Chains A and B, each alone.
Chain A
């Protein structure tokens, strides 16, 4: 039991390192160009919920496209909880899609899903049909960043 648990920890540690490495390569100058509507590429504006505070992570993300929660164990644990209650029904526990499309791999419906600003734009504003705006549903932007950090760990 103990050894099993230990092994799991080390695997997730390695995954986190790998994901961090990916994140670095993703955060290119053009990254923020993916802050856009997935259907017509129109620019997005991100309004806060009543009483929502723009966290430093969100502020930095909007400026640079860099998601500080990638590889952050606490944030990814929060992201997992949020994923389970908001995303899992349509996208599946492993993110490969069920009623909704896959979030992992390269064969995503909207190419912008491959970047964090692109995925953030879709979570915030919705994509098509039942993938409706999570901003409208009351989700905070900091929570969206945590979900993204978790979803990236599913991309093996």
Chain B
């Protein structure tokens, strides 16, 4: 009895400990923010064009080497460099379309396939390691995560010789369907590489990948890339399922109930979080280390997930049992079903909010996280752009109301595909003219652009702004 009390006391003390972050993950669907909220301190915003002429830009990453360069990912398999002055260098930084003498290495047959992301090792300035994630043509559309080493004598271009010489493949994840790959890869504040991996496609997660710990699909993965070159990667010891699958002798009826909570035979130790549908974009707040994930929804709801920097991983975000805080399939607003795992902090509907045809003209169809803003009055505000409706949203904790807020900042003509933060913390966004119903191919679509999200009163004179209302 005394021990129990002590345990309860310790538990309470532990829960109370991370005082630094007052945010709470919603406990009930009513706590999940929906459009119509107000982000505290938000100024009027504007999208300022940095550069254009990119062929289907679908990813962007700022250099972490003090060079001020911004790297824009082109769908077909190229990474372009925008230098400090805003000039786009003519030669790509990385070109996956020409190092293989048989042709491109990138599968782009469907609009969700292609090169998605480039990430730089935390010590990139010293080791020159850059990482890419793309759909491979030779491997029938499998996800490839590979590292290349930049030659310091050629910092703006990895030649095909250098690419071939230095490339190290870390992961090759087969893909059964041509959609829901996820895409983004990024280093966390802990120096580990995080990988957004979709549920492997079709619609409605027919493989139940989101909930299946035995597969890498439908997950946020976390790996340690700092290994010898003959080892692709290592499992961080503190991954939530790092030891769940350790070899052990079989002992029928010998596992305790507590044992079952940690022993998940067959679990993939790379998993950090699960129950995700298509986490194409996710971002760490550079200030707090907290993580936001924009999980693209099925037919009706887009969701934004959050975990504090203190998270130990293992969160289940509910797909395919839930879509946002609603049921999946989402038949109607008053439908009842269990909430599985952790609720999102925010959600917004498609034009049809439910299968019963309920209309919501404030909707979208595909949430792309852009980055966490801490400027211009914004405080830890996750910026999210929608691919279909051109809406720009912000999600932030409102400390006076003690709840999350989701505010639509503007509606633009842009199809947002991706974003990130610049070296100075400014949120960047890219847009394409690529869409399911209008895809002429990654090199033939009209070109897209790179934008900065800025407070309207800080816009330089003469800057080109995105049309917005």
Which A positions have Cβ atoms within 8 angstroms of B? 37-40, 42, 86, 89-90, 96-102, 107-109, 126-130, 132, 136-137
Contacts and interface: CB of A to CB of B under 8 A. Distances in A.
Contacts of B414: 129
28 contacts: A39-B469, A40-B469, A42-B467, A89-B437, A90-B388, A90-B437, A96-B359, A98-B352, A100-B388, A101-B359, A101-B363, A102-B351, A102-B359, A107-B359, A107-B361, A109-B361, A128-B412, A129-B387, A129-B388, A129-B391, A129-B412, A129-B415, A129-B416, A130-B389, A130-B415, A132-B413, A132-B435, A136-B446
B433 interface: yes
Given A98-B351, A109-B361, A132-B415, 4 more contacts: A90-B388, A129-B414, A130-B388, A130-B390
B437 A39 contact: no
A107 B357 CA distance: 14
A114 B411 CA distance: 20
Interface string B334-377: 00000000000000001110000101010111000000000000
Nearest to B363: A101
Nearest to A102: B359
Given A130-B389, A136-B433, A39 B412 contact: yes
A128 B357 CA distance: 22
Q: Which of B351, B467, B468 has the most CB of A within 10 A?
A: B351
Contact of B364 (A42, A102, A129): A129
B180 to A, nearest CB: 16
Given A129-B390, A132-B433, A137-B438, A99 B365 contact: yes
A39 B466 CA distance: 10
A108 to B, nearest CB: 8
Contacts of B467: 37, 39-40, 42
Nearest to A100: B351
Q: Which of B350, B361, B412, B436 has the most CB of A within 10 A?
A: B361
A38 B361 CA distance: 15
A130 B351 contact: no
B386 interface: yes
A137 to B, nearest CB: 6
Nearest to A130: B388
A99 B386 CA distance: 12
A37 B468 CA distance: 10
B389 to A, nearest CB: 4
A113 B446 CA distance: 26
B436 A89 contact: yes
Q: Which of A38, A86, A101 has the most CB of B within 10 A?
A: A101
Nearest to A89: B437
Q: Which of B352, B387, B391, B446 has the most CB of A within 10 A?
A: B352
Given A39-B467, A107-B361, A99 B351 contact: yes
A137 B444 CA distance: 11
Nearest to A85: B437
A86 B468 CA distance: 25
B359 A128 contact: no
Contact of A101 (B361, B436, B437): B361
Contacts of B391: 128-129
Given A39-B469, A40-B467, A128 B361 contact: no
Interface in B416-469: 416, 433, 435-438, 446, 467-469
A137 B364 CA distance: 22
Interface in B384-416: 386-391, 411-416
A39 B468 contact: yes
Contacts of B436: 89
A89 B357 CA distance: 16
Contacts of B469: 38-40
Nearest to B436: A89
Contacts of B411: 39, 128-129
Contacts of A40: 467-469
Q: Which of A37, A97, A132 has the most CB of B within 10 A?
A: A132
Nearest to B350: A99
A127 B351 CA distance: 15
Contacts of A137: 438
Nearest to A37: B467
A102 B360 CA distance: 10
A101 B390 CA distance: 13
Closest 10 CB pairs of A and B: A129-B390, A128-B390, A130-B388, A129-B389, A39-B469, A89-B437, A129-B388, A39-B467, A97-B351, A128-B411
Nearest to B365: A99
A116 B389 CA distance: 22
A108 B364 CA distance: 15
A145 B414 CA distance: 25
B30 to A, nearest CB: 26
A129 B466 CA distance: 12
Q: Which of A108, A130, A132 has the most CB of B within 10 A?
A: A130
A89 B387 CA distance: 15
Nearest to B414: A129
A138 to B, nearest CB: 10
Contacts of B359: 96-97, 101-102, 107
Nearest to B412: A128
A108 B359 CA distance: 11
A96 B359 CA distance: 9
A130 B387 contact: yes
A130 B435 contact: yes
A127 B361 CA distance: 14
A96 B390 CA distance: 20
A137 B433 CA distance: 10
Contacts of A42: 467
B389 A128 contact: yes
A100 B389 CA distance: 8
